[in-house]
Structure 1
Amino acid sequence: MKKYQGLEGILLIDDDLPTNFIHKKVIEKASIEAVVKSVTNVEEALDFITYSGIYEDTSDIPRPGLIFLDINMPGLNGWDFMDAYRQLDKRFKATAVIIMLTTSLDPDNKELALIDKEVVVFLNKPLKPEMVTTLVNSYFKEISD
């Protein structure tokens, strides 16, 4: 397992439980040492990031250095998350790297994602271990023991 500076936690935001399960396994296969937290909606993701709601007393769980965000979700979607995320106090955002994920073939989604300064990469699902490794090596520095 490889450790990276600023990457103690990874947050998966996707309404599809099987996708979250698979992506968690993919991250494990990539040998990234980080706590992976998955949520199924935008409200819970924002509560987790800001230590509010059911996450009020969870300072022992690392907050994300890396966020994998699905675009298409019922209710509030990935774009709604980004609107709310931009409004958060900087201390909650710190150095989080946001990767937007989709199964959509709509080119407008990619264009919108790449215009957003908070989104660093736009990828098609599903994640693969080599994708995760490439992303982590691009945005985080490996800690040698």
Structure 2
Amino acid sequence: MKKLNLILLIDDDAATNFFHKLILEKENCCENIVCKENGEDALEYLSTKTDNEYPAPELIFLDINMPRMNGWEFLKAYEELEAYKKAKKVIIMLTTSLNPTDKEKAKEIVSINDFMSKPLTSKKIQSILNSFDSFFQ
């Protein structure tokens, strides 16, 4: 399985980001992990060139409930980004929400590839990497 270049974590909880980053590092599945604490910061990050390139993460883990710009608002703005500023394709909505309406809403949004409950685990990471392996080629 190919090692990913960049995973973007979008979650307002610093402890959750720290834990998820540790799990991802333990799985040794990517070169870089970037954490942003709300949708606004994530959009700014995706729209900013570094070394003449946009970040273009292969995988984004997105929380729903965040201040300033929540996950749904992020997705609406994300849809309007130019293709070269978006993730390579996989967005996983990772949330504590138990609201079945959220899961149904997520199914209707093309950009969302999966909907999972927190926390991220080694088993969930392996499942994602296996399920979406063709996207990462």
Q: What TM-score, normalized by structure 1, do the two folds share?
A: 0.85
1:88 aligns with 2:81: yes
Relative distance call for 1:57 and 1:12 in structure 2 (3 A) is: same
Q: What TM-score, normalized by structure 2, do the two folds share?
A: 0.89
Structure 2 unmatched ranges of 5 or more: none
Matched letter for residue 129 of structure 1: S
Q: Percent identity?
A: 43
Moved over 3 A (4+): 56-63
Relative distance call for 1:46 and 1:58 in structure 2 (3 A) is: farther
Equivalent residue number for residue 138 of structure 1: 131
Cα RMSD (Å) of the superposition? Answer: 2.0
Relative distance call for 1:59 and 1:138 in structure 2 (3 A) is: farther
Deviation of residue 22 (structure 1)? 0.3
Deviation of residue 75 (structure 1)? 2.1
Give the 3-state SS of the residue equivalent to 2:88 in structure 1: coil
How far apart, CA to CA, are the structure 2 residues paired with 1:60 and 1:89? 13
1:126 aligns with 2:119: yes
Relative distance call for 1:20 and 1:61 in structure 2 (3 A) is: farther
Structure 1 unmatched ranges of 5 or more: none
1:45 aligns with 2:42: yes
- Matched positions, count: 136
Relative distance call for 1:65 and 1:27 in structure 2 (3 A) is: same
1:9 aligns with 2:6: yes
